[in-house]
Structure formats: structure tokens, C-alpha cells
Amino acid sequence: MTDHSKYASPLTARYASKEMAYNFSDDRKFSIWRQLWINLAVAEKQLGITDITDEAIEQMKANIHNIDYEVAAAEEKRRRHDVMAHVHTFGVVAPAAAGIIHLGATSCYVTDNSELINMRDALDIVIPKLASCIKSLSDFAVKYKDLPTLGFTHFQPAQLTTVGKRACLWLQELIFDLRNFSRARNDIRFRGVKGTTGTQASFMTLFNRDHDKIEQLDALVTKLSGFEKSYAVTGQTYSRKVDLDVLSVLASFGATAHKIATDIRLLAHLKEIEEPFEKDQIGSSAMAYKRNPMRCERVCSLSRHLMALLSDAHQTASVQWLERTLDDSANRRISIPEAFLTTDVVLTLLQNIFQGLVVYPKSIERRIKQELPFMATENFIMARVKAGGDRQVCHEEIRVMSQEAARMVKAEGKENDLIERIKKNEYFQPIIDQLDSLLDPSTFIGRAPQQVENFMKNEVQPILEEYAEALSNAHQEEVNV
């Protein structure tokens, strides 16, 4: 079969970064298995297992990446056991170690521990990318902190805010996600060396019931594998609530990404803000004028998948009978890598979007002018009262004119002419010269600019300082079609 004659996941074939695709590749998986077998052998030898020779360890170290997949596939077909197939395959290229590879261990020693390594390393990939997204969006928020824009509640016109303040709402959720990513990453422990049902019974035999040596073995292999701690108790597997915890964090980010991309899609419809659109990009095969928000649409599409994967983790964690059942394996082969691959893709898309957001101030100003006269009516009333008017009379005059102006906008499709009506109304002549100042959009945005400044100083800047090195090494990945 050719590469084009069988299904390939779009996540790896079309979207994901090389580093994330490699993290969940067979080369990475089975080289981690071999490193884990080396770590186990080194620790067992150090603790007195004389059957393990220096030659055996050197042969294993020399062949970490020398994986004969044809031998492994043939052996797995014969034995129907993937771990034992790779024990055999490793032993073929490291014959001095053939008799001691996997000594005392169960399959989950390599499968579970390698998956914990994969998840930890995958979080190390996405955390700097999320920090980069925060940096790009924070630059945008600062740039537009003073630009008034119409706020919406229920997607109906509300009081004004600023473009930068709205971006801070997105930023805050991304900061929540960064906190969650970091916590999940730091919470991941090693399964350790726990044996078939987590009791370490096989190691009791291997070390002649020496409890201290068994505890030392667990601690030493944990350290050799790059972890400070292992889970204190396990069954045959580590608790699948660990997967649930990690995928919950990723799914939560999916909700954030979906919300941000949806907001930008709505703003694109309003012709206020758009995602980047390349010079030769085609928006529609039929409608040549279109500028469809395809990046944001892809974020929403993939984020839905990311959020849906959380259901797999919930259900898997809930049905792990007693010390374990194998109905988790096939599901987790799909759900865990796909959750990280999808997160990786969404972050790349968001970074591309944030760095190229296009703002249309004139379009924003026009929409403000359509709605601001209604919002300013209270200001008109107060100014007229200060000029000697009666509050109730003012209110009634404004109410009648506002209703008629609104009817003209809705029923006849005309522009909002409330200001012209006020200017022609004899009752409001004493404040005509104040109308421009009373309609200045900057007086309707409250403390939005100051909120942006405070948010940057107190919330965003400490994060950017914490990830300064990662940000300095960051590069913008190309967005695939």
C-alpha cells in the first residue's frame, strides 16, 4: 500500500507540529521502553543483582534506537503480546541482556511509565506555546487598550468597552489554562516499579524479601527516569484519574479556544476585527469576494473534538475494575495522543491568529455612532436639567424621539437620526453646543484602559517574565491548509 492508499490521521498528516507528532510516534514510544528497561537493569545491578553484567547494559544502551519493526511485528503476531514482542526484539540486538531485560517487571512497567513520560513531555511542548499566545495577545491588548468599541451582552448592543479590554477577557482565560497546564504537568508522577498488581511481589522474590532494597529500587528507577516521585500505591496500572486530570485541563483549554475563535468570527461578521488573510488566499470557490474566517473555524472544529475526548477519560477511569481491566488500552492509544495533538494544533492556530489580527477602527466607529445616541440619552437629560430643565419633561421628550429614531432604523433601514432630532427640538437648544462632548466615545468606556494596564502589570507581566527564556526561543510555526 502507498501512503495515499490508506487512512492517515489528519492530526499528524495535516496539522500537528513535528515535535508533538514525534512525541507520540512509535520511535519515541519504543525507545522510551528500552530506556526504561535500561534504568531497571542499572538499578537492579546497583542493588546487587549479579546476573546483570556491564556488557548487557552497554549493549542495551547502544541499541536504544535500533528497533527492527519487522522482527517486532512478527513476534507480536506469534505471541499476541506487544511488550513481550519488544522484549524479544531488544534481546536480538543486545544478546548479553536477553535474559535480564524486563526482570521482575510487568508490562505496565513500560507501557504506563512511558505514557506518563509522554504526557509530561507533551505538556512541556504546549506550555511554552500557550505562553507565546499570551504574549502575542497581550501585545494586541496594549495596542488597542484605548480604542472604544461597542460592547455586547446577549449579542445585543450594550455599553462601550475597548478592543484591548475585550482582549483581556480572552487573555484571562488563557492564563487560567496556563496555570492548569503547569499544575497538571507538575502533578504527574512516575508509576514506578510496582509489579503485576502493584504489590511488588516479584521483587520480594528477586531481592530475597529485602523491603529496603525494593523501596530503593523504586526510588532509583524513578530518579533515573526523570521524576522526583512515584505514585505511592498502584494497581497493575497507575490510577486512570491521572489521565482524567490531564485531559480535563486540555478540554478546558478547548473551551477557551472555542470561545475566543467564536468571538472573532462574530466580530468578522460585523467587519470590526478579522483574522489574518493572505494575499493569494481564496475565501470561497464560488464567491470570490469572501474572506471566510477559516482559521477561527478550524479552531472551533478542533476544539469541539478536544472537548469531546474528555468523555473517554471519564468513562475509562470509571470502569477500571479492582486492580485493572484491559478495556482501557485501545481507548487510551487514541484519546491521549489525540488530545495533545489537537491542543498543539489549536495553539499554533491561535498564535497565528493573534499575531495577525486586523482591526478596522472606522467600522468600529460607525457602529458606535449607530448606537451611542441611545446610550447618551441619560447624559442629555442630566445636561438639560443642569441648564434649568425639568427632569420628567426631558425624559418624555427624549423617550418620544428615541422611539421614533429606533423605528426608522428597524422598520425603514435608515440611519439613527436621534441627534438630528435633538438638534431640531426647541427644548434642547440650551445644550446643543455640548452634544459633541456628550457623545465622545472615550467618556463611555469607564476604566477599561486602566483595567488593561493593571491587568498587564499584575497578571500578565509576571507570566511573561517567568517564561522569558521559552518566549525568546519561540518560533511561529507555519499553519497548514
Active site residues: 154, 284
Burial class (CB in 10 A: 0-12, 13-18, 19+), 465: exposed
**Cross-strand bridge partners of residue 152:** 157
- Is 184 in contact with 123 (CB distance < 8 Å)? yes
- Dihedrals phi, psi of 247, to nearest 5 degrees: -70, -25
- Cα gap 124→174, rounded to integer Å: 16
- Cα gap 132→58, rounded to integer Å: 41
**Cross-strand bridge partners of residue 149:** 161
Burial class (CB in 10 A: 0-12, 13-18, 19+), 285: exposed
Cα angle 366, 271, 357; round to 5: 115
Cell of 253: 483549554
- Dihedrals phi, psi of 388, to nearest 5 degrees: 105, 10
Kindly list the distances between the CA atom of residue 415 and the CA atoms of 31, 45, 51, 316, 419, in Å, as whole numbers in the listed order: 68, 85, 90, 58, 11
- Cα gap 297→318, rounded to integer Å: 33
Neighbours of 458 (CB within 10 A): 9
Phi-psi region of 48 (alpha: psi -120 to 50; beta: other; left: phi over 0): left
* SS3 at position 197: coil
Cell of 180: 492548569
- Cα gap 79→74, rounded to integer Å: 9
- Cα gap 298→346, rounded to integer Å: 8
- Cα gap 111→329, rounded to integer Å: 10
Q: What share of the chain is helix, strand, coil (3-state, %, to 5)?
A: 70, 5, 30
Neighbours of 360 (CB within 10 A): 15
Neighbours of 448 (CB within 10 A): 24
Cell of 259: 470561545
Estimate the crossing angle of helix 107-143 against helix 448-455, to 10 degrees: 140
